[in-house]
Amino acid sequence: MRGQLSRLFIVALLQCAVASAQPPTGPTATILLRNGHIYTSNPNQPWAKALAIQDAKILAVGDEAQLARFRGPRTLVIDLAGRMVMPGIIDSHIHFLDGSLSLDQFTLDDAYTIPEIQRRIRAFADHHPDRQWLLGRGWLYDAFKPSGLPTRQILDEVVPGRPVVVECYDGHSLWLNSRALALAGITRSTPDVRQGDVVIGGVVRDPASGEPTGVLKEDAMELVRRVIPARSREAKLQALRAGLKEANRHGLTSVLNASGSIAEMELYDTLRRQGELTVRMTTALMMEPELSEKTLETFEEGRRRFHDEWVRGGVIKAFMDGVIESHTAAMLDPYSDDPKLIGSLNYTPEQFRRNVVELDRRHFQVITHAIGDRAVRTALDAYQAAEETHGPRDRRFRVEHIENVNPADIPRFASLRVIASMQPYHCYPEPNLFHIWARNVGAARLPYSFAWHDLAAAGAKLAFGSDWPVVSLDPFIGIQNAVTRQDAKGQPPEGWVGRQKITLEQALAAYTRDAAYAEFEEDHTGSLEPGKLADVIVLSQDLFSAKPLEISQTAVLMTIVGGKIVYRSNL
Ligand SMILES: [Zn+2]
């Protein structure tokens, strides 16, 4: 008896020793983030100290003691030293291929005078003697007083021999030198681009001579784009690799591409197959004024071929109008700086409604660029018609930009469950906004400009993005502007149209869980919860204790996408 007992005792002891040397039973983390200040964007558990990742997904979120059991011999343990962690940023409106291609072009984003603009373009031309076409972007209307539009002569003075084409920062106009106009065959007799009676693309002309001044608006941009040599597939892939790095460096883990094609989706798919895709890509295909069978088949193809968590279709984008700065946004009342101008719609309301109803019948998600208050109303009317025709459904239709909205339409976002997809850095208070944008809109409509607060207060879901390359894809400058609407010096003191500011909580929701909802991905992304994809970022500072005007200085120290560390710096 005695001998048997002691043998059992020894066996039990041995079992204990084996158990403590072995990994815990149950799942083991591949990555364990500990000692952090983790903002989950999950309202039921907003903060945590530790997060366990197993392969592509989040295993657990909680405190150190709870999560210690997931630590195994091969777990990568990262001590965050109290740093803030949050879900990966979802940019709800981006032009990823254009942005990536722009990375090796010149930029005029912060060039405010003609001499500075000319200096940069001359320097770029000197640096790139091999480039046949000199392409750049980012000119600001306010640099060209008083008209707000540049001329070909400014470019001719610095680059007479090679064609130069510069995209406006908003992407809605191109500026050409004389050589580029000649190669595109644009002369005084080139007509504006029309659809029916409506001018949808203007060739800007000198009022005295009738000669083109060098600016092409909206659809007229195609007149030169078709003669610019296309980039090869390999060059595009190479640009995308740089774009992905740039996105991860700023904490982006998912985006919605607001203007894409099947060919572009194939590029993302190629990168995915090669293990190089490090940002989840939902890509919208473009609606044309007339929905042909062929177009509809392309939409169906996009959705059929691409529908997983890395490359997704199923979204259709429409352009309802242009932009306020160049008077192409469709307004309910005339522009305040020129009562002859009111903007125009790219669709008749009937035509647009018909298209939306057809796309709704096929269960596509429709997103509509609408900047002026009339364009916003026309989009909402069509969305309402879809609901009246086919009854309630979880559609998540969206309006993009909404720079100005009539107060009567604000409650319609919530009642129709339409998502307000907006870009908070677009109303950064700088001269372009004051002198051109605000002048054109006028005092009466100003209170409903970039009306994040009013839309949210009326129950609308906000989804935020950058519109890169229109502005930087850095989300922290967007978050800062969402909560301050002030420049770096804290002006204006109450913020520009300060009542439309929102809280940091609201801004973060619009870049995380509500952005995930806006692309039907809320079961997989947008918050840090067990079972969701492990898209996680570590920040250099705590956004909640940072001064509001210092939020934009936030650096991303680590970006994890699908459980893989894709960017790491100083951590
Ligand atoms: Zn856009």
pLDDT digits (tens, 9 = 90+) for 361-384: 999 999 999 999 999 999 999 999
Residue 549 contacts residue 564 (beta carbons within 8 Å): no
Distance 329 CA to ligand 1 centre (A): 14
Distance 257 CA to ligand 1 centre (A): 8
Distance 441 CA to ligand 1 centre (A): 20
Looking at 409-488, which runs of residues are DSSP E strands?
Answer: 419-422, 462-464
Distance 470 CA to ligand 1 centre (A): 7
**What pLDDT score was predicted for residue 3?**
43
Kindly list the distances between the CA atom of residue 151 and the CA atoms of 168, 175, 211, 279, 379, in Å, as whole numbers in the listed order.
13, 7, 11, 39, 34
Residue 418 contacts residue 399 (beta carbons within 8 Å): yes
Distance 94 CA to ligand 1 centre (A): 6
**What pLDDT score was predicted for residue 14?**
42
Distance 319 CA to ligand 1 centre (A): 9
Q: What is the pLDDT along the chain (571 residues), one digit of tens a residue?
A: 444 444 444 444 444 444 444 445 789 999 999 999 999 999 999 999 999 999 999 999 999 999 999 999 999 999 999 999 999 999 999 999 999 999 999 999 889 999 999 999 999 999 999 999 999 999 998 899 888 899 999 999 999 999 999 999 888 899 999 999 999 999 999 999 988 877 888 999 999 999 999 999 999 999 999 999 989 999 999 999 999 999 999 999 999 999 999 999 999 999 999 999 999 999 999 998 889 999 999 999 999 999 999 999 999 999 999 999 989 999 999 999 999 999 999 999 999 999 999 999 999 999 999 999 999 999 999 999 999 999 999 999 999 999 999 999 999 999 999 999 999 999 999 888 988 999 999 999 999 999 999 999 999 999 999 999 989 999 999 999 999 999 999 999 999 999 999 999 999 999 999 999 999 999 999 999 999 999 999 999 999 999 999 999 999 999 999 999 999 997 8
**What pLDDT score was predicted for residue 1?**
40
SS3 204: strand
Distance 436 CA to ligand 1 centre (A): 20
**What pLDDT score was predicted for residue 196?**
81
**Interhelix angle 233-249/262-273, nearest 10 degrees:** 70
Distance 420 CA to ligand 1 centre (A): 14
Distance 202 CA to ligand 1 centre (A): 20
Residue 517 contacts residue 254 (beta carbons within 8 Å): no
Distance 101 CA to ligand 1 centre (A): 15
**What pLDDT score was predicted for residue 10?**
43
Distance 122 CA to ligand 1 centre (A): 29
**What pLDDT score was predicted for residue 421?**
98
The distance in angstroms from the start CA to the end CA of the chain is 59
Smallest CA-to-CA distance from 152 within 188, 126, 127 is with 188
**What pLDDT score was predicted for residue 375?**
98
Label the pairing between strands 89-94 and 252-260: parallel
pLDDT digits (tens, 9 = 90+) for 226-271: 999 989 999 999 999 999 999 999 999 999 999 999 999 999 999 9
Distance 58 CA to ligand 1 centre (A): 32
Q: Which helix (H) or strand (E) holds 381?
A: helix 373-390
**What pLDDT score was predicted for residue 422?**
98
Distance 255 CA to ligand 1 centre (A): 12
Main-chain phi, psi angles of 122, to 5 degrees: -65, -45
Distance 172 CA to ligand 1 centre (A): 10
Q: Interior CA angle at 502 toward 497 and 508, to 5°?
A: 140
**What pLDDT score was predicted for residue 4?**
46
Looking at 340-397, which runs of residues are DSSP E strands?
Answer: 365-370
Distance 556 CA to ligand 1 centre (A): 24
Query: 0.85 exceeded by the pTM?
Result: yes
Kindly list the distances between the CA atom of residue 473 and the CA atoms of 425, 470, 478, in Å, as whole numbers in the listed order.
10, 9, 9
**What pLDDT score was predicted for residue 570?**
79
Distance 388 CA to ligand 1 centre (A): 29
Residue type, 81: A
